[in-house]
Amino acid sequence: MRSFLELVEDCDSFPYSYPNAAAYRDIVSPLYHLKVASYDHTLGYVPKFVAEAFESFSAWNLNHDAQTLTLISGSNENERSAVVAQTCQELRNQDKFTVLRGWRNELYPVYGPGGVLLFNIERAASALLGVVSYGIHMTAYIRSSSGLLLWVPRRALSKQTYGGMLDNTVAGGISTGEEPFETLIREAQEEASLPEALVRQKAKACGTITYFHIRDERAGGETGLLQPEVQYVYDLELEEGVQPSPSDNEVETFHLWDLAKVQHALHDGQFKPNCALVLLDFLIRHGILDAKNEKDYIQIIARIHRRLEFPTI
């Protein structure tokens, strides 16, 4: 049985400078800083073996002394995006990285200071550069006489990543140019057959969770890639009788579980790691977990709202 804080540590696995500054330095100091010419901010951390793959491209400058990987070609978003697309496509053609075999033909935005869009990048390549990615997660629930019941889907065994694990009712990545709420509407329809009108009327924004993940074998592809993420969190209270159901092949089935069953599955490690954090946030906001029954209450809340050390939108 894993404690809820252990679930958080499993997902928010990038270290903090406190309390172990030495361990933090050991992880951080070998990493390369992703930059864009004429901007000072670090946009992501890149492991050395990834940074070196960019060395042969003239659009990029790799500086081993400063440990920077800088995009030096392109003077606006369009030009930068075109150069980044060329590089990623070439790396894919060379089959340089396993993660690029999961090519999605979907663009993710990379923001600079002040929320300026610096460039877009193929979703599958974003983890290579360690840039912040954005998604939406929604928990659908009903109020019954015996307490809250949550709609919990199980991921299809055939899914590339985390196959067979439990998930949030609706979840998905936010592509370039898409508003979080519109991503939610689209994914609610695609993944859970929840009608647009219903979601538009009843889904409630409840904040964000943020964490910094170091990818391991469970995510597929190279390990050690850096993945800082922002998830916009929504609640959807449903009437009894309204039932989400799979409409694509990403979800196998939906269960309607009481809180005891959900918490047991959490402790049992059955949820996809970032979905566990969304549920912990839900349990905290709804007063199910509190200072009395959860010894790591303060730590958990701070960890799932991590301030990322990169610009965000």
Nearer to a second copy by C-beta: 155 or 303?
303
- CB-based contacts of 5: which residues, under 8 Å, 6+ apart? 296, 299, 300, 303
List the interface residues with a second copy, window 73-92 (CB under 8 A): none
Which residues lie below 8 Å from residue 241, measured CB to CB, with a gap of 6+? none
Q: Residue 229: beta bridge partners?
A: 133, 211
In angstroms, the Cα distances linking 298 to 8, 72, 295 are: 12, 43, 8
Closer residue to a second copy, CB minimum distance, 64 or 204: 204
Sequence-ordered list of residues with C-beta below 8 angstroms from that of 173, at least 6 positions apart, any chain: 106, 108, 123, 133, 134, 135, 183
Report, in Å, the least distance between residue 154 CB and a second copy: 28
Contact 200, 236 (CB under 8 A): no
Binding mask 189-228 for a second copy (x = CB under 8 A): ---------------xxxxx-x------------------
**Smallest distance from a second copy to CB 131, Å:** 14
Q: Which residue has the tokens 């440990």?
A: 67
- Nearest CA-CA partner of 111 in 124, 129, 99: 129
DSSP state of 290: -
Could you say which of 179, 216, 240, 268 contacts a second copy (CB under 8 A)?
179
Distances (CA, A) of 107 to 4, 61, 234, 294, 297: 33, 23, 23, 39, 36
- Of 44, 180, 228, 273, the residue at the interface with a second copy (CB under 8 A) is 180
Stretch that binds a second copy, among 48-56, 123-131, 140-148, 301-309 (CB under 8 A): 301-309
Task: Find the part of the chain contacting a second copy (CB under 8 A) among 86-94, 122-130, 156-164, 279-287.
Answer: 279-287
Q: How many residues bind a second copy (CB under 8 A)?
A: 42
Which residues ranging from 105 to 164 are in contact with a second copy (CB under 8 A)? Answer: 113, 115
> Rounded to the nearest whole angstrom, what is the least distance from the CB of residue 173 to a second copy in the complex?
15
Q: How far apart are CA 266 and CA 263, in angstroms?
A: 5
- Kindly indicate which of the ranges 87-95, 178-186, 247-255, 271-279 contains the residues binding a second copy, using the contact rule CB under 8 A: 178-186
230 forms part of the interface with a second copy (CB under 8 A): yes
Q: What is the DSSP string of 143-198?
A: EETTEEEEEEEEE-TT-SSSTT-B--SEEEE--TT--HHHHHHHHHHHHH---HHH
* Shortest Å, Cβ 33 to a second copy: 12
- Residue 308 interacts with a second copy (CB under 8 A)? yes
Under the binding rule (CB under 8 A), the answer on residue 313 touching a second copy is yes
* Residues from 5 through 44 that contact a second copy (CB under 8 A): 16-19, 41
Binding interface with a second copy (CB under 8 A): 16-19, 41, 113, 115, 179-181, 204-208, 210, 230, 232, 284-287, 289-292, 295, 297-299, 301-309, 311-313
